[in-house]
Amino acid sequence: MAIPYDEAPIREDPPGFDHARIEKAVREILFAIGEDPDRDGLRDTPARVARAYAEQFAGLRQRPEDALTTVFDADHEEMVLVKDIEVYSVCEHHLVPFHGVAHVGYTPNKKGQITGLSKLARLVDVYARRPQVQERLTSQVADALMSVLEPRGAIVVVEAEHLCMTMRGVRKPGAKTVTSAVRGDFRDHPETRAEAMSLILGRS
Ligand SMILES: Nc1nc2c(ncn2[C@@H]2O[C@H](COP(=O)(O)OP(=O)(O)OP(=O)(O)O)[C@@H](O)[C@H]2O)c(=O)[nH]1
Ligand SMILES: [Zn+2]
């Protein structure tokens, strides 16, 4: 029986990436669609796909603490929000891309511990570079922020277009999926959440 996607185990420490196996599999796929993998244009494709997958799925071999490396004390306890972080991920149902933006915010803990702004974008990449569903990507980023940085709260909003909905299947170009995950302060205090959402949606 298939495991529902939200219960599927996420392997934090998977075995090494198997280039040779991907090359073999891609060659098989080319045969299976009726192509000739040995023709000029396709000869190097299995190796190219393996290299591309190594990059697209690099997050399977990374942990959130690899991204949130720099934590420093600052006298700042108010919200920090990085908007419009470009996200490229791969839908785990069809293995085609979904892409859009992530907005990631947190309220530092009482010690005023903050992280480097770029680290928030790196954290998004750790989870985006895996076979994903948007809901899980969104909550994983929020949960990782909470556990590594221990802020008073975290908010993550992802807006994305799924190519499996636009280039095939139901074919609805332009349809956007918006997901959010709120933790701590942002879940407990509607006014804190409202402030974050107005900054996120403000498009300023
Ligand atoms: N909730 C959620 N669904 C997703 C995501 N990415 C893709 N999907 C959906 O996953 C579903 C898979 O549905 P299936 O019926 O098993 O597959 P399918 O026959 O290819 O479905 P269609 O895309 O409708 O043609 C589709 O409705 C996709 O739109 C995601 O990130 N979150
Ligand atoms: Zn899909």
Where are the CATH 1.10.286.10 domain residues in the chain? 14-56
Tokens found for residue 90: 């791969």
91 is catalytic: yes
Ligand 1, atom 23, residue with closest C-alpha: 169
Which band of pLDDT confidence, cut at 50, 70 and 90, is reported for residue 7? low
Whether 106 and 79 have beta carbons less than 8 Å apart is answered as yes
DSSP label at 2?
P
Which of 45-54, 62-71, 123-132, 185-194 bottoms out in mean pLDDT, i.e. has the lowest? Answer: 62-71
**Using one digit for the tens of pLDDT, what is the confidence trace for 85-106?**
999 999 999 999 999 999 999 9
Output the residue whose Cα is nearest ligand 1's atom 31: 133
Which of these, 118, 84, 89, lies nearest to 101 by C-alpha position? 84
Residue 162 bears catalytic tag: yes
Q: What is the pLDDT of residues 119-178, one digit of tens each?
A: 999 999 999 999 999 999 999 999 999 999 999 999 999 999 999 999 999 999 999 999
User: Whose atoms come closest to the Cα of 165: which ligand?
Assistant: 1
Taking CA atoms, 26 is separated from 22, 38, 91, 154, 163, in Å, by: 6, 12, 18, 40, 21
> Is 103 labelled a binding residue?
no
* pLDDT of amino acid 2: 46
Q: Tally the residues of the chain.
A: 204
CA dihedral sign of residues 125, 126, 131, 133: negative
The predicted-structure confidence for 22-40, as pLDDT tens digits, reads as follows: 999 999 999 999 999 999 9
Ligand 1 pocket mutation pick from 93, 130, 158, 177 by most atoms within 8 angstroms of CB: 93
Architecture of domain 14-56: Orthogonal Bundle (1.10)
- In short, whether 11's Cβ falls inside 6 Å of ligand 1 is no
Where does CATH 3.30.1130.10 sit in the chain? 69-201
User: Ligand 1 atom 27: the closest Cα is on which residue?
Assistant: 165
The CATH class given to the 69-201 domain equals alpha beta
Strand segments, DSSP code E, in 4-145 are 71-73, 80-91, 97-107, 113-115, 131-132
Residue 173 has what pLDDT? 95
91 is in an annotated binding site: yes
Question: Which residue among the candidates 161, 164, 189, 195 is catalytic per the annotation?
Answer: 164
